[in-house]
Structure 1
Amino acid sequence: MTTAPQVPAAKKVPVTRVHHGDEVVDHYEWLREKEDPEVIAFLEAQNALTEADTAELADLRTAIYGEIKARTQETDMSVPSRRGRYWYYARTVEGKQYPLRCRAPIAGEDDWDPPTVSGDDPLPGEQVLLDSNLDAEGTDFYSLGAFSVTDDGDLLAYSVDVKGDERYTLRFKDLRTGEMLAETVENTAPGATWSHDGRHIFYLTVDDAWRPDTVWRHDLGAGTDDVKVFHEPDERFWVGIGGTRSDKYLMIGLGSKITSEVHVLSADDPTGEFRVVWPRRDGVEYDVEHAVIGGEDRFLITHNENAENFELLDAPADDPTDTRVLVPHSDEMRIEGVDAFADQLVLSYRRGATPRISIADIRDASSATEVSFEEVTFDEPLSTTGLAGNPEWAAPRLRIGYSSFIEPSEVIDLDVRTGERILLKRQVVLGEYDAGDYEQRREWVTAADGTQIPLSIVSRKDVSRPAPTLLYGYGSYEASMDPGFSIARLSLLDRGVVFVIAHVRGGGEMGRHWYENGKTLTKKNTFTDFVDAAQHLVDTGATTPSQLVGEGGSAGGLLIGAVANLAPELFSGILAVVPFVDPLTSILDPSLPLTVIEWDEWGNPLENAEVYEYMKSYSPYENVAAVAYPSILAITSLNDTRVMYTEAAKWVARLQDTTTSDNPILLKTEMSAGHGGVSGRYKQWEEVAFEHAWVLRQTRAI
């Protein structure tokens, strides 16, 4: 007879922390020692407990995995995008974990109609640039960090991470011969950008806190040391590099949470000096895009100086201080950026918690003052519209993507001049899927302070109320949870689960003010908004506490961890994925990865006693109490460098020791993965099936 494993009793080793006169004793900080065999033993014991507790769900997991697989066209192909002399695309093959990245030659210079996507046969003349299935052989984890082809199409640079720690090895391939070049670059950050000459490649490295801080130039084949092009010493700033779609400029972008700066260099002069567009000013964020209007090189600058929701400026490329307003600030519209093409500009923004785009035809414009934008609309109001793969500057049509919660995603070519829309591909859902069987709607919840909080609600039309419900939230970094279709979600919906997103403050759905009122010293609005959303669902009879599960991941894990302390009685289950649940300990330690750059988001508790007290008052780990917690499942990864496994491990240890209920508190640690979890689509489906089966049990849907 097999005995079920007992809850691992984590030892207590008191570690004292003193800040601003406040003394805190932390008994589980020892779990931070990743190399300690006792720590690994604790995590493995927790995995055994989770496996035993969820063993009864094995058949359900198998069924859900089978449903995802059966609905997915496993052998498939993305819509080819033209770049230079080739159509570039990705193919998936049934039974293989990773896509194949391929290209095929264009028929001629005027060939702008992408080849038909069949999903079964390679295109004529296909060349496989990278088969990640072969590249990943012998590894438990595989992540692609860069994939960049030279302008002439002759060389490929790509980088891989085989541990999950986001340290990549940059490799080079001669696409003319198919041979791998001998030289590599170790320990890079994701991304790589070629110069025009196809000889120099720019890449990033990170500091000890995993912050991309340095841009390097590698002279391929020269045998010389790489050149440090730029270094950012301020630990608040994250560095990135890329090129404009026009291929005319290389751009280095620096960004903290509240301040940015852009440096530009002609792509024809890769060994030259970058120049600053606007010197950084604290609290001013801006982005730069290159456009050609009326035959002149222009910089389009999206910024927030005295414009909370941002405005769009136009300026000569050689004098970016000589600005004119192209799209003014609006309280009703949050401008998110602009993209430039030879013949059109595309403005991306959100209004009414919905992402939208508008297009300006600039073919006949002699100056920016003649530019006017027209919104692209669809019949379904609860949807997402945005740019799809558009690498080519001179493309005569614009490629856009469209999706909703219940409609499979679409890729569309839009003729800007005529308005004609050409459907290139609709996501295939195998089986008997009918969008008419489902519904999506928007509801508004009145928060305690009177603020109206939007909810997105998705379900089958025939669901009966009160219904099993999964309530999801994020609410940080101005990130928006926009409508999107999910094949995996159908396994929940078809079993009667209602899926709800609470668009809480701290996100960006309702504009910049929505973000500002859910960060630093207003962060608690994020948590109370979610509680108010849950209470609304219960009060209106949509669900009951015994049928309600709350979910959040990463910074959303902070949300759901805080909610577990604020209103444990409202939930049957709490699903926390790579959760940021020990924020005060992390943000107090500048030596930990990514801490300093987070101070603009959460505040600096090291220097500010008010911030310290405020963070301590909501930190999930700090506020674990002797109350009846619902069932909790925390999922983390041993090699995560963004939210360390320690956060979930400490939180679960304290919950298990403190809860007054018999509801299981579970921890599942992926022992060879990073922040994004396991790699490979079949492994990811298995993980989704594991989570969904647990949700179905906790919502009483089974």
Structure 2
Amino acid sequence: MTTDAVSALPPVAPRKPIVRRHHGDDVEDAYEWLRAKEDPEVIAHLEAENAYTRDRTAHLAPLQERIFGEIKGRTLETDLSVPTRRGDWWYYGRTVEGSQYGIQCRAPLTSPDDWTPPVLSPDTPVPGEQVLLDGNVEAEGEEFFSLGSFEVTTAGDRMLYGVDVAGDERYTVRVRDLVTGEQLPDVIPDTFAGATFSPDGRFIVYTTVDDAWRPDTVWLHELGTPVEDDVKLFHEPDERFWLGAGFTRSDRYLVIGMGSSITSEEWLVDADDLRSAPRLVWPRTEGVEYDSSHAVIDGEDVLFILHNDGALDFELVKVSASDPTGPRDVVVPHQPGHRLLGVSTFRDWAVLGYRREGLARLGMLSYRDGSISELEFDEPLYSVGSGGNPEWAPPLIRIGYGSFITPGTVFDYDVATGELLLRKRQPVLGGYDSADYAQARVWATAQDGTQVPVSLVWKRSFGEAGAAARPVHLYGYGSYEHSIEPGFSVPRLSELDRGVIFAVAHVRGGGEMGRQWYEDGKLLHKRNTFTDFVDCARHLVAEGYTTPEQLVAEGGSAGGLLMGAIANLAPDLFAGILADVPFVDALTTILDPSLPLTVIEWDEWGDPLHNADVYAYMKSYTPYENVRDVTYPRILAVTSLNDTRVMYVEPAKWVARLREVGADALLKCEMVAGHGGVSGRYNAWRERAFELAWLLDVVGAADA
């Protein structure tokens, strides 16, 4: 392993202790002062951390540049997406070599009966093409640019788009007339992502957030009227609930949905009378989640409702839209371990998403007899989902597919014939051949005997995984029932081609193995997430895949909490830990309901403010509270100053505390970015190249 030379001393954050007291427990916090984002001393400290990290990683600049070149060289920089039909147009995106951001375009249909998307070439002009939005033009003069809303009316005559130029996920919505090219006077500031037109194009429905960054209010804006006159359609006062709104594919209803981590509720508004009173679907019941999808069967408006009322892994029922609380017709009964994920209804059939044996599946649901025809794929590990299907009555369903070794693929599924029509596979330049790589799933035994799946991908030329110890990059998340899917990554090839095995530990707290898998890794079972990851790492070492000197771990956000926890639990098991926007000061955050998202998070982590048992449990694992005087692995924490989800102060405090015990910890803070990091594809590639260069250096593969 190459040891980076120390040519500068690390920044030392002054200790300014304050005492936090809860449930009779006094905790001295020396670095909470770093939360004062506007304080020049805080900014100066973050800049010093950045300078130190640059100095400590300067020797990796050539490797970082090589990896950036590899990512760039494998990417077809000038490319087009597969067109999606909506109304009288095909909509698609362009990327252009040298440009950071995408370009949204459309071209007219050649025939109203045409459902086969045109095959587009970057070198051939598209007849009738219109450029709707060029992100590079909109981003001129800005250090950060993010598009949070983008939609065109059904008639195709107007476009809305919401832009964030700070990284704080507050979007300003603007409207453009696509017939004249004029900007309309309608400007709506400080919206949440996801603003949408009404089906008739007269209105915009959007949401705003409260002081804790919680989407809490749905608004109705009539085009051509002052924003001050916008109508408040719905307000959710309960601080545990997020709120959102969108129209059914049928254009029959506006659905206003709200949910916490464990409870949800929906209201319907007739799309042809948006100022009418919302109608409740099912009354809110603590612990019951549901969502509805509208269909018309034999002339009757019905709702397909996916719910977990007495059905841990969810059940699908059909009810009358005029009487949703009336009789329920069970369409797909509850099956333990067969986790239903979602249903998308169309005029003639529905698409059902579900998870079985740790993999996502898709099935076509017949309205006639309730049968499900599952789509089959021949890889042992893959990810699949439907998307980009705005039309109510299409003959084809757009599907996205991929695996660790198969680049992202777009299919259209012909419902009548059952045929999968390949529309496009992500091009990977430089002679990529999926046969040169392999993927597999192994199982690690957790402390309590639970079998935990671990996915692996490697390059075959280095030998079979496990035949000899090699560098391993182990990734984990394990919260919010979020599943880490077997997906393809161009940057990852730079690791695999240097002999690194990439692995994912599908730990409890995620959703890979059903709802119980999630329940067993949250609240007072949260430690299972951390011990599962450690047990997966121990399994890879014990079975000869790697050694502690060649093992590096990575996780981001809630996965960053996982990284901080495993650093304390098993510091000798890892050579390095990469923590992206890490939630490492969890107890401090969850104790303060004035901070963004805190109250919402109580359903996931527990409420330590009011419950002494939860307080004690969280204090036992939260990384910042449990830094020990041990030899830690090398640590790189990456964060963003404007992140509203996991604030920069958490990794800043954590790194300061780690330095007290002599840990080799680096902090990199993007000064103009948000939770997702920097904006722009080239900036993102450089950021990932930096992280991978550090990672390869840690595991001794920097010169491979």
TM-score (norm 1): 0.97
Amino acid in the other structure paired with 1:271: R
Hey, what does 2:685 align to over in structure 1?
A: 685
Hey, what does 1:487 align to over in structure 2?
A: 490
Where 1:133 maps in the other structure, the secondary structure is helix
| 5+ residue gaps, structure 2 | none
8 Å Cα contact 1:388-1:411 kept in structure 2? no
Hey, what does 2:442 align to over in structure 1?
A: 443
**Within 2, Cα distance between the matches of 1:311 and 1:64?**
47
Residue deviations 1:216-239 (CA, integer Å, cap 9, x gap): 111110336111111100000000
Is 2:478 the counterpart of 1:463?
Answer: no
Where 1:528 maps in the other structure, the secondary structure is helix
**Within 1, Cα distance between the matches of 2:265 and 2:306?**
12
Where 1:489 maps in the other structure, the secondary structure is helix
Is 2:354 the counterpart of 1:349?
Answer: yes
Amino acid in the other structure paired with 2:653: K
Hey, what does 2:382 align to over in structure 1?
A: 383
8 Å Cα contact 2:395-2:416 kept in structure 1? no
- How does 1:181-220 map onto structure 2 within 5 Å? 181-220=184-223
Aligned-residue CA RMSD (Å): 1.1
Hey, what does 2:37 align to over in structure 1?
A: 34
Hey, what does 2:116 align to over in structure 1?
A: 113
Aligned residues with identical type, % of pairs: 63
- Once the 2 structures are TM-superposed, how far is the Cα of residue 617 of structure 1 from its aligned partner? 0.2
Hey, what does 2:697 align to over in structure 1?
A: 697
8 Å Cα contact 1:481-1:501 kept in structure 2? yes
Aligned with 1:241 (options 245, 250, 262): 245
- Once the 2 structures are TM-superposed, how far is the Cα of residue 3 of structure 1 from its aligned partner? 9.0
Is 2:575 the counterpart of 1:572?
Answer: yes
- Once the 2 structures are TM-superposed, how far is the Cα of residue 429 of structure 1 from its aligned partner? 0.5
**Within 2, Cα distance between the matches of 1:682 and 1:258?**
38
**Within 1, Cα distance between the matches of 2:675 and 2:417?**
45
8 Å Cα contact 2:6-2:56 kept in structure 1? no
- Once the 2 structures are TM-superposed, how far is the Cα of residue 435 of structure 1 from its aligned partner? 0.5
- How does 1:461-610 map onto structure 2 within 5 Å? 461-464=460-463, 465-610=468-613
**Within 1, Cα distance between the matches of 2:628 and 2:370?**
59
8 Å Cα contact 1:204-1:214 kept in structure 2? yes
Residue deviations 1:151-180 (CA, integer Å, cap 9, x gap): 211111110000001111010100111111
Where 2:462 maps in the other structure, the secondary structure is coil
- How does 1:630-649 map onto structure 2 within 5 Å? 630-649=633-652
- Once the 2 structures are TM-superposed, how far is the Cα of residue 142 of structure 1 from its aligned partner? 0.4
Where 1:48 maps in the other structure, the secondary structure is helix
Hey, what does 1:165 align to over in structure 2?
A: 168
Hey, what does 2:105 align to over in structure 1?
A: 102
Aligned with 1:316 (options 313, 320, 325): 320
Is 2:22 the counterpart of 1:22?
Answer: no
**Within 2, Cα distance between the matches of 1:484 and 1:340?**
26
| 5+ residue gaps, structure 1 | none
Residue deviations 1:507-553 (CA, integer Å, cap 9, x gap): 00000000000000000000000000011111111001110000010
8 Å Cα contact 1:312-1:328 kept in structure 2? yes
**Within 1, Cα distance between the matches of 2:308 and 2:646?**
30
Q: Bigger shift: 649-658 or 416-425?
A: 416-425
Q: Bigger shift: 315-324 or 675-684?
A: 315-324
- Once the 2 structures are TM-superposed, how far is the Cα of residue 122 of structure 1 from its aligned partner? 4.1
- Once the 2 structures are TM-superposed, how far is the Cα of residue 183 of structure 1 from its aligned partner? 2.5
Q: Bigger shift: 103-112 or 472-481?
A: 103-112
Amino acid in the other structure paired with 2:215: P
Q: Bigger shift: 374-383 or 288-297?
A: 288-297
Q: How many residues align?
A: 692
Residue deviations 1:87-128 (CA, integer Å, cap 9, x gap): 011110111000000111111210111010323334210111
- Once the 2 structures are TM-superposed, how far is the Cα of residue 273 of structure 1 from its aligned partner? 1.5
Amino acid in the other structure paired with 1:686: R
Aligned with 1:85 (options 85, 88, 108): 88
Is 2:288 the counterpart of 1:271?
Answer: no
**Within 2, Cα distance between the matches of 1:665 and 1:527?**
20
- Once the 2 structures are TM-superposed, how far is the Cα of residue 296 of structure 1 from its aligned partner? 2.0
Hey, what does 1:333 align to over in structure 2?
A: 338
TM-score (norm 2): 0.97
**Within 2, Cα distance between the matches of 1:531 and 1:122?**
54
Q: Bigger shift: 518-527 or 38-47?
A: 38-47
Hey, what does 1:404 align to over in structure 2?
A: 403
8 Å Cα contact 1:145-1:159 kept in structure 2? yes
Hey, what does 2:76 align to over in structure 1?
A: 73
**Within 2, Cα distance between the matches of 1:330 and 1:698?**
45
- Once the 2 structures are TM-superposed, how far is the Cα of residue 293 of structure 1 from its aligned partner? 2.0
8 Å Cα contact 1:298-1:314 kept in structure 2? yes
8 Å Cα contact 1:361-1:416 kept in structure 2? no
Hey, what does 2:426 align to over in structure 1?
A: 427
Aligned with 1:259 (options 259, 263, 266): 263
**Within 2, Cα distance between the matches of 1:225 and 1:620?**
48
8 Å Cα contact 1:75-1:120 kept in structure 2? no
Amino acid in the other structure paired with 2:315: E
- Once the 2 structures are TM-superposed, how far is the Cα of residue 7 of structure 1 from its aligned partner? 0.8
- Once the 2 structures are TM-superposed, how far is the Cα of residue 134 of structure 1 from its aligned partner? 0.3
Where 2:126 maps in the other structure, the secondary structure is coil
8 Å Cα contact 1:209-1:592 kept in structure 2? yes
Distance verdict in 2 for CA 1:122–1:561, change over 3 Å: farther
- Once the 2 structures are TM-superposed, how far is the Cα of residue 294 of structure 1 from its aligned partner? 2.5
8 Å Cα contact 1:343-1:396 kept in structure 2? no
**Within 2, Cα distance between the matches of 1:273 and 1:109?**
37
**Within 1, Cα distance between the matches of 2:126 and 2:602?**
50
8 Å Cα contact 2:363-2:373 kept in structure 1? yes
- Once the 2 structures are TM-superposed, how far is the Cα of residue 409 of structure 1 from its aligned partner? 1.6
Q: Bigger shift: 414-423 or 207-216?
A: 414-423
**Within 2, Cα distance between the matches of 1:346 and 1:421?**
15
**Within 1, Cα distance between the matches of 2:458 and 2:187?**
50
**Within 2, Cα distance between the matches of 1:669 and 1:140?**
15
**Within 1, Cα distance between the matches of 2:454 and 2:225?**
57
Where 1:205 maps in the other structure, the secondary structure is strand
Amino acid in the other structure paired with 2:139: A
Amino acid in the other structure paired with 1:408: P
Which runs of structure 1 show a deviation greater than 4 angstroms over 4 or more consecutive aligned residues? Answer: none
8 Å Cα contact 2:380-2:440 kept in structure 1? no
**Within 2, Cα distance between the matches of 1:540 and 1:226?**
63
Where 1:203 maps in the other structure, the secondary structure is strand
- Once the 2 structures are TM-superposed, how far is the Cα of residue 640 of structure 1 from its aligned partner? 0.3
8 Å Cα contact 2:53-2:668 kept in structure 1? yes
Hey, what does 1:374 align to over in structure 2?
A: 373
Hey, what does 2:10 align to over in structure 1?
A: 7
- Once the 2 structures are TM-superposed, how far is the Cα of residue 570 of structure 1 from its aligned partner? 0.5
